Amino acid sequence: MHGTRILDEADRLMTVCNSCRYCEGLCAVFPAMEMRRAFSDGDLNYLANLCHACGACYVDCQFSPPHEFNVNVPKTLAVARAESYAAYAWPRALSGTFARNGLVISVIAALSMAAFILGFAALNDRGVLFGVHTGPGAFYRLMPHNAMAALFGAAFLYAILALVMSVRAFWRDIGEPIGGRADGGSIFQAIRDAGELRYLHGGGVGCYNEDDRPTDRRKLYHHLTFYGFLLCFAATSVATLYHYLLGREAPYPLWDLPVLLGTLGGIGMIAGPVGLFVAKKQRAPELLDEQRYGMDVGFIAMLFLTGATGMALLILRETAAMGPLLALHLGAVFALFITMPYGKFVHGIYRFVALVRYAQERRGEAGS
């Protein structure tokens, strides 16, 4: 007996699969399962976060409904995965944010954007807010750079702290000692596996989403989103270095590195989430964790909003719309940061940690 009903069901399915093993070659979940004969809560949460929701083991399973064994691994692990996010959330008091996550995220996003608009309006007169500003330092006429850096730095640090604390709880629960460090080789392996989404591949033919044909393109959309996000992050980092090391202030010319990175990233962060959203709408109901629809879509929307306001700001930065757009963009980014530990963003973190663990287990097996 486990802590929750979904873990009981996951345990039942892993027992079925462990005596079947037909899906062994499809992904990392089944080989990891085979290293065990019984499953603790932590084991199941580990397996749930190893799963990439490719759908192959549902389409291939001879025991999927209407069979009386009623095996649906992707959906069960999706629900278990989402519940694990709440279970490991730090501080505990905020784990409730996962319950109606779509609502929580949209309220925070709306409040954040409104706060920036109102703040800008209160601190600047209309002439400045709707003025045309160009040249270095234009943005900082609306919000001083130091204030911006302090606010976002604080939000970012908080997100990191909360994520680290959550991952600690996860790491301990899946049976790894705190302080026992992962070896470099396993981390490198996990970076490669996550970077190419090695296990979002349906065992080789491709993933399943709307039906039993491996025609899914979530991997492409995810690469757009993920690398778009990384590029935007890189753009901001380069800009910060420019500011403090070279004394060069934003906005930068179009050919300059932060803008190039940001533009490429922004395109990815618009196109990727749109693709993922369409894929989500098409997903077969038997694979979908309906309860978490809000969380998933909330996250997709946040990324889209961040990308879209950023691109709009770039295009319209020399017009009177710059002020309000800057407020909207900063509001979106701020909301993205502070909600990171309390939304779907954590999927990447837990999956990565699970992949590290898996790489370690594989090395351990090969060694023994």
Partner 1 sequence: MIRESKDILNWIVEQGVRWQPSLGGTLSLGRTNSFFLGGGRAMLNALYLTAERLGVEVAYDAEVIDLVIEDGMFLAARVKRPINGETEIRATSLVAAAGGFEANIEWLKEHWGDAADNFLIRGTPYNRGSILKMLLERGVQEVGDPTQCHAVAIDARAPKFDGGIITRHDSVVFGIVVNKHAQRFYDEGEDIWPKRYAIWGRLVAAQPDQIAYIIFDSTVVTSFMPTLFPPIAGRTVTELAGKLTLDPAALEKTIAEFNAAVRPGKFDHTILDDCRTEGITPPKTHWARRIETPPYLAYPVRPGITFTYLGTRVNKEARMLMKGGKPSANMFAAGEIMAGNVLGKGYAAGIGMTIGSVFGRIAGREAAKHARN
Residues in contact with partner 1 by the rule CB under 8 A: 15-16, 18-26, 31, 34, 37, 56-57, 59-63, 67-69, 203-205, 212-213
Residue 27 interacts with which of partner 1, ligand HEM, ligand SF4, none, CB < 5 to 8 Å by class: ligand SF4
**Minimum distance from CB of 53 to ligand SF4 (Å)?**
5
Instruction: Measure the CA–CA gap between 239 and 137, rounded to whole angstroms.
Output: 12
Both structure tokens of 296: 């998933």
The reply on whether position 61 binds ligand SF4 by CB under 6 A is yes
The first and second tokens of residue 31, run together, are 């080989």
299 binds, among partner 1, ligand HEM, ligand SF4, none (CB under 5 to 8 A by kind): ligand HEM
Q: Which residue is nearest to ligand HEM (CB)?
A: 348
Query: What is the C-alpha separation between 208 and 218, in angstroms, rounded?
Result: 9
User: H or E segment at 135?
Assistant: none
Shortest distance, position 270 Cβ to partner 1, whole Å: 33
Instruction: Enumerate residues 6+ apart whose C-beta is below 8 A from 295.
Output: 82, 98, 101, 102, 105, 343, 344
Token pair of 200 as six digits = 């979002």
54 is an interface residue for ligand SF4 by CB under 6 A: yes
Identify what 353 binds: partner 1, ligand HEM, ligand SF4, none; CB under 5 to 8 Å per kind. none
Q: Where are the alpha helices (DSSP H) in the chain?
A: 5-18, 29-34, 41-50, 56-60, 73-88, 101-123, 126-129, 145-173, 184-196, 218-241, 257-282, 293-315, 322-339, 346-367
Binding site for ligand HEM (CB under 6 A): 52-53, 194, 197, 200, 218, 222, 225-226, 229, 273, 276, 280, 296, 299-300, 303, 344, 347-348, 351-352
* 74 near ligand SF4 (CB under 6 A): yes
- Three-state DSSP at 301 gives helix
From ligand SF4, partner 1, ligand HEM, none, interface partner of 73 (C-beta below 5 to 8 A by class): ligand SF4
Nearer to ligand SF4, 216 or 335 (CB): 216
Q: Which is nearer to ligand SF4, 75 or 317 (CB)?
A: 75
Assess contact for 341 and 162: CB atoms under 8 A.
yes
Nearest to 144 by CA among 161, 163, 128: 128
Binding site residues, ligand SF4, CB under 6 A: 16-17, 20-23, 26-27, 29, 51-57, 60-63, 71, 73-74, 77, 199
